[in-house]
Amino acid sequence: MQFLSEFLEQAIACDLYRRTVTCDPVAPGHVRINGQTYLLLASNNYLGLTHHPELQQAAVKATLTYGTGSGGSRLTTGTHPLFDELEPALARFKETEAALVFNTGYMANLGVISALAGPDDVIFSDELNHASIIDGCRLSRAQTVIYRHADMADLHGLLQGTACRGKRLIVTDGVFSMDGDIAPLPVIAGLAEKYHALLIVDDAHATGVLGPGGQGTAAHFGIKHKVQVQIGTLSKALGAEGGFVAGSKELIEYIKNKARSFIFSTALAPATIAAALAALRQLSAGPDMVNKLSENANYVRSLLQAAGMPVPGGVTPIIPIMVGEAGAAVRLADELYKQGIIITAIRPPTVPCGTSRLRLTVITAHERDELRQAVEAITAKARQFGMVVG
């Protein structure tokens, strides 16, 4: 078992060691640790719905009515009545024929990709796709061809030059989780159509964030009809847990019968399903939440850029502050923690070597004053670290 200690020692030496920190979420944008309250700029709870009274009451009511757990997989113990409400609601939200819920977004990608692709097929995958997409491609046993990030000329050349005995599939994140940039979906959809490829879009960070009413990346570009498989999450902007796939009725029936992460998993608890349903109702009733999120994101990004911080342009609530070396990113995050601000230091293997960054995320619940103060603190610490600022 010596390899365990060797790995941990090397991780510590390279500033790549990770540890969990126990915190008490007292509000969507704040946590309490050892009696001190911190501003949380590291959450994917984009719309702040985790603490919404309607979601909380829905979860409590479902628990009192149906119990705490589901007791088994849906294909063996039956589908809970709340799923019969949630899945049609998700289909209406995405404007598709049907939808199917998984326990996590990770399991949705694993199940869907491995169900749709096989050894005779070729998957074309963006080099910065999420780990769950990468693992889904591996599990499928299909040939996986990686194209340079958002490089449509590279994707075109690979589609043209790669022989395929079976199906072609293109899979991409809608919003990339570490850089916050948006996939050039209209061009990808055009290439998919030209080369008769099935297009899969993972909208984990676009659900409730992009598009009219938060419908996602395809809606953002007005090309919903050109994306055959839309994957999303209930765990981020919708304030609950789980993932889902939306598409044609035939697709969903196929996935039910082929996706191992659906077939062999105990279903979500009633409280979780009820909370997700309540979140969809809140989003439908108050689509302005999405606009508020965008306004907060633009506000922080503009302040950081005006201060000369190394922040790329964009419109999503994911704002990477590029640092470079892992050790420097960790030290900067630690200094901000001492000032009551939590921003995660993202390091390899999550991002390539030399591109470590602080991943700042903005949510609707953040107030302008606290965001402005946070940017001032970030800028001051960045100056001390010799980062390029105005």
Write out the DSSP string of 225-264. Answer: GG-SEEEEESSSTTSS--EEEEE-HHHHHHHHHH-HHHHT
Determine how many CB atoms are found less than 10 A away from the CB of residue 246: 26
Q: Give the Å distances, CA to CA, from 196 to 66, 271, 320.
A: 45, 41, 35
What the block records as the tokens of 279 is 């979140």
Catalytic residues: 177, 205, 236
CATH number of 17-46+287-384: 3.90.1150.10
Sheet containing 318-324: give its strands across. Answer: 318-324, 356-361, 344-346
What was the pLDDT predicted at 386? Answer: 79
pLDDT in tens, the chain (390 residues): 999 999 999 999 988 888 888 999 999 999 999 999 999 999 999 999 999 999 999 999 999 999 999 999 999 999 999 999 999 999 999 999 999 999 999 999 999 999 999 999 999 999 999 999 999 999 999 999 999 999 999 999 999 999 999 999 999 999 999 999 999 999 999 999 999 999 999 999 999 999 999 999 999 999 999 999 999 999 999 999 999 999 999 999 999 999 999 999 999 999 999 999 999 999 999 889 999 999 999 999 999 999 999 899 999 999 999 999 999 999 999 999 999 999 999 999 989 999 999 999 999 999 999 999 999 999 999 888 777 665
List the one residue out of 127, 104, 156 whose CA is nearest residue 265. Answer: 104
Q: Which regions of the chain carry the CATH code 3.40.640.10?
A: 53-285
> Rounded to whole angstroms, how far apart are CA atoms 181 and 174?
8
DSSP per-residue codes, 265-313 = SPPPPHHHHHHHHHHHHHHHH-THHHHHHHHHHHHHHHHHHHTT-----
Whole-prediction pTM: 0.94
List the one residue out of 108, 143, 105 whose CA is nearest residue 124. Answer: 143
Pairing relation of β-strands 36-40 and 341-342?
A: parallel
**Helix and strand totals (H; E) in the chain:** 15, 14
357, β-bridge pairs:
322, 346
What was the pLDDT predicted at 230? Answer: 98
Tokens 């109702």 sit at which residue?
Answer: 281
What was the pLDDT predicted at 19? Answer: 87
Q: What is the CATH architecture of 53-285?
A: 3-Layer(aba) Sandwich (3.40)
What the block records as the tokens of 113 is 């990709």
What was the pLDDT predicted at 389? Answer: 60
What was the pLDDT predicted at 390? Answer: 56
What was the pLDDT predicted at 388? Answer: 60
> Rounded to whole angstroms, how far apart are CA atoms 265 and 267?
6
What was the pLDDT predicted at 294? Answer: 96
